[in-house]
Structure 1
Amino acid sequence: MAATVAALASDGFAGRRVGSPGGASARAWLANHLAALGATVHTDEFPVRAVPDVAAAPIVSWGSDATAHRLTFGREVGIHLASANVPEVRHGLLGVVGADSPTGRWLVVPTGMSLFDAYGHAHRAAGLLLNRPVDADGWQFTTLAGPDQGPLPILTLDPTTHQAVLAAATDSGWLSGNAPLRRLDVTAANIHATVRPPATGGVDLLLTAHYDGVGDHPGLRQPGAADNASGVAVVLEAARILAAGPLQSVGLSVALLDGEEIGAFGSAHHAQRLRATGANPLVVNVDGAGRLDHAVAVEAGGPAHQLLALLDQAGRHTGVPLVAGPVASDNRRYGSAGFAAVGIGAGMAGYHSAADTPDRVDPNTLTAVARLVLATVCLAALSAAAAPSPIGDKR
């Protein structure tokens, strides 16, 4: 599993953003691995519109009097998802939203002011500068799902830089910067593998994980090791073991999903496909098996009583503690489509940043989550019904 994480997080797959060459390369690599298990594998394409893409690293400097500071992309400065695509560098004096004339100025948005309110004071401004927290490693995280593009370039500044620029805005400070953020319409593709079809009246299990990441930016690697190469590694290892095992009474399929980072479009597409074929699997989705923090988070959706009972028993058999908690991933799409679905999350470091590297994925966590998934399948083979789960199904 560690080798799988390292491979998927390598330079050749370039962060695996949906619709990118790196994502396509990862998809081919994964399909070959599943085929080598003896599974029947196919890919299923679907369109995704308006995927944010940083075309070049932004060039941003600011200063006051005789000083000048060049900002580091990914740490001190980033591009907000609502930013207009402005590849050319704009130079202007600094100002404060609501306090200074906006014309030609880069306006600092005070902490606590919404972007909506800032727009009301920004007519003909050069752009907006928002405060954005950084993680423990000093990185701003990347997201692909969010608001539509607005009328102005919008840069995000780490809190220290934001405070310094705000102070400079009252002292003839200036800023020059650009926001080369384009939107691309792309083709995504899920990978589906049938390891073993279900017996008549038997239990049918579907193991899922998204293989896409937020992708690299120019000059900024974002490996996506924990999110979600780790989940893919767990599902592949479980499939490898189960493909050679004797559990012939349980149907088993694998779906490695694309487009999760842009809005879980891959699982939405796959859930519709399943509904059209009349399939009704129990869905176990793994998103984040990087570092176990006390307990594995479990979120249920759909008619998940039986599946939760199996998972709870598996946790007790393997010694992996479970706790009800949010797993905001593809499991929600399957659950909302009416399938019994659970999401499993066991932590990740360096979320959506350059710090999400393979060395920060704990091998013991990979093993623990894989054993949990395998035990769930084994218990499903023994019995289609189990004792009620103390996690409960609140719906």
Structure 2
Amino acid sequence: MTTRPNPAARPAPTADLDATLGRVSRDRLTATVTALASDAFTGRRVGTPGNIAARGWLGTELTDIGAAVTGDSLPVRAVPVIYAAPTARWGTGTMTADLSFGSDVAPHLASADLPSPRRGPLGIAGTDDPDGRWLVVPAGMSLFDAYAQAERAAGLLLARHVDGDGWQFTMLSGPNPGPVPVLALSTAIHQAVHEAARAGDAWFAADTPIRRVDVTATNLYGRLRQPSPGHPDLLLTAHFDGVGDHPGLRQPGAADNGSGVAVVLEAARILSTALPEGAGLSVALLDGEEVGALGSAHHAARLAETGATPLVVNVDGAGHLHQAAAVEAGGPAYGLLAVLDQAGRHTGVPLVAGPVASDNRRYAGAGLAALGIGAGMAGYHSPADTPERVEPTTLAAITRLVVATVWLASTAPTTLQSSIGDGR
């Protein structure tokens, strides 16, 4: 049975909660984000030296706040890695243009590895003879259908939108590699190349240096307080991995998810000495979220094996609050969601039901009461995800929300009906 907020507990004075909330430090929060986004941790992609170094640093941080720290490793198969900066250029009889990696062009996840540049005439998939041509895939044609038109083609050119800063986003979870090289072009470049292919006498030359590697992910667990029988056990979670740097292209991962890790560390630091006797508290800093939330799936299975049923609060993104924090509840989360409602009202953080497609779903899928909280991803999966774009006010607000939620779940029963909905 899932542990609920303790019905025998007497509501504690809100003055005690306010004093606890007053301990939230913006300076510590921003320092954590800055550290995790630093060059030393190279974007923290699973299995990389930067990821391993970040895990070591986080282990020290957990130890410093009094946690008993353990690690738990799991294999991760076929992680896509761009191992060199791709080169790409195109032209007509009168012009030649080089394309910039990360903004104009990037290897697609479905691409076959092409380590050296290949040149060929431009054509249009489904219209021109594919033999030796780079084929522009028209808007509306699926990659699957394009493959059917690509026998003996030099490669395929797909369109991809860029963000407000002009960057394509990096993904690590998606389709397996296909039979030919595939490049994603910004929509503006794709349109220009498409028009040139229709006009004829145009060419394209590029490589697609992308391969798959098998690596090891490692979760970090920190136990701060053991629960007593009949008392709630709270688990705070955030993933520390990022999509990682590319050659010549830094992707710091400040908001995603350095900000979530900062919130969890700060909340745990404060709550470790603020919760009532008997309440349990632990932290899971998770690896492998960017490759399919594998770290949280592994941890959720571990909890199921032992029969543990903590109340889970996961934070993925605390960069920009905008109008409200997004909340997604799963599993038997009614009581925990009602407590979050109270915490939002007490701290003044507006809440709205919205998708938080992160580790919280793995815990919910294992039958645990789980909340996902998200507040903005500036520069999502791109070089624009830098520390200076993470708002200290948002970091502090989400930390206060998490602290209040855990404090109320541990001290005061609730029978309030949630207006957010728990997804059942």
**Interval containing the TM-score (normalised by the shorter chain):** over 0.9
Partner residue of 1:304 out of 318, 328, 333: 333
In the aligned structure 2, how far is the partner of 1:324 from the partner of 1:246?
Answer: 28
Shift of 1:171: 2.2
Contact 1:303 1:339 in 2 (8 A): yes
2:63 counterpart of 1:35: yes
Q: Deviations over 1:129-168 (max 9, x none)?
A: 0010000000000000000000000001001111111111
Task: For 1:154-165, list aligned pairs within 5 A.
Answer: 154-165=182-193
In the aligned structure 1, how far is the partner of 2:77 from the partner of 2:150?
Answer: 28
Where structure 2 has 5 or more consecutive residues not aligned to the other structure, the ranges are 1-28
Q: Deviations over 1:256-281 (max 9, x none)?
A: 00000000000000000011111100
Shift of 1:384: 4.2
Q: Give the residue type in structure 2 aligned to 1:375.
A: A
- Residues matched between the structures, number: 395
Contact 1:349 1:360 in 2 (8 A): yes
Q: Give the residue type in structure 2 aligned to 1:59.
A: T
Match in the other structure for 1:314: 343
Q: Secondary structure at the match of 2:346?
A: helix
Match in the other structure for 1:390: 419
In the aligned structure 2, how far is the partner of 1:139 from the partner of 1:44?
Answer: 35
Match in the other structure for 1:342: 371
Shift of 1:386: 3.7
Match in the other structure for 1:73: 101
Match in the other structure for 1:376: 405
Q: Secondary structure at the match of 1:287?
A: strand
Match in the other structure for 1:237: 266
In the aligned structure 1, how far is the partner of 2:278 from the partner of 2:419?
Answer: 27
Q: Give the residue type in structure 2 aligned to 1:147.
A: P
Q: Give the residue type in structure 1 aligned to 2:95.
A: T
In the aligned structure 1, how far is the partner of 2:98 from the partner of 2:235?
Answer: 49
2:290 counterpart of 1:288: no
2:305 counterpart of 1:276: yes
Runs of 4+ aligned structure 1 residues displaced above 6 Å come to: none
Match in the other structure for 1:117: 145
Partner residue of 1:6 out of 6, 30, 34: 34
2:116 counterpart of 1:88: yes
Task: For 1:210-249, list aligned pairs within 5 A.
Answer: 210-249=239-278
**Length-normalised TM-score, structure 1:** 0.99
**Paired-residue identity, %:** 65
Q: Secondary structure at the match of 1:222?
A: coil
Q: Secondary structure at the match of 1:34?
A: helix
Q: Secondary structure at the match of 1:261?
A: helix
Shift of 1:344: 0.1
In the aligned structure 1, how far is the partner of 2:85 from the partner of 2:65?
Answer: 41
In the aligned structure 1, how far is the partner of 2:119 from the partner of 2:291?
Answer: 32
2:220 counterpart of 1:191: yes
Q: Give the residue type in structure 1 aligned to 2:39.
A: D
Contact 2:46 2:215 in 1 (8 A): yes
Contact 1:250 1:380 in 2 (8 A): no
Shift of 1:244: 2.8
Shift of 1:245: 2.4
2:152 counterpart of 1:152: no
Of structures 1 and 2, the one scoring higher in RCO (CA 8 A, sep 6+) is 2
Q: Secondary structure at the match of 2:106?
A: strand
Match in the other structure for 1:362: 391
Shift of 1:248: 2.6
In the aligned structure 1, how far is the partner of 2:188 from the partner of 2:77?
Answer: 35
Shift of 1:246: 4.5
Partner residue of 2:235 out of 206, 216, 223: 206
In the aligned structure 2, how far is the partner of 1:342 from the partner of 1:22?
Answer: 29
Where structure 1 has 5 or more consecutive residues not aligned to the other structure, the ranges are none
**Length-normalised TM-score, structure 2:** 0.92
CA RMSD of aligned residues (A): 0.8
Contact 2:275 2:407 in 1 (8 A): no
Q: More deviation in 244-253 or 127-136? A: 244-253
Q: Deviations over 1:105-140 (max 9, x none)?
A: 000001111101111111000000001000000000
Q: Deviations over 1:10-68 (max 9, x none)?
A: 00000000011100000000011001111100110000000000010101110001311
Contact 1:310 1:386 in 2 (8 A): no
In the aligned structure 2, how far is the partner of 1:240 from the partner of 1:233?
Answer: 11
Q: Secondary structure at the match of 1:216?
A: coil
In the aligned structure 1, how far is the partner of 2:308 from the partner of 2:139?
Answer: 50
Q: Give the residue type in structure 1 aligned to 2:157.
A: L
Q: Deviations over 1:207-258 (max 9, x none)?
A: 0000000000000000000000000000000011112325333100000000
In the aligned structure 1, how far is the partner of 2:339 from the partner of 2:275?
Answer: 19
Q: Secondary structure at the match of 2:40?
A: helix
Q: Give the residue type in structure 2 aligned to 1:299.
A: E
Q: Give the residue type in structure 2 aligned to 1:175.
A: F
In the aligned structure 1, how far is the partner of 2:207 from the partner of 2:361?
Answer: 37
Partner residue of 1:19 out of 34, 42, 47: 47
Q: Secondary structure at the match of 2:291?
A: coil
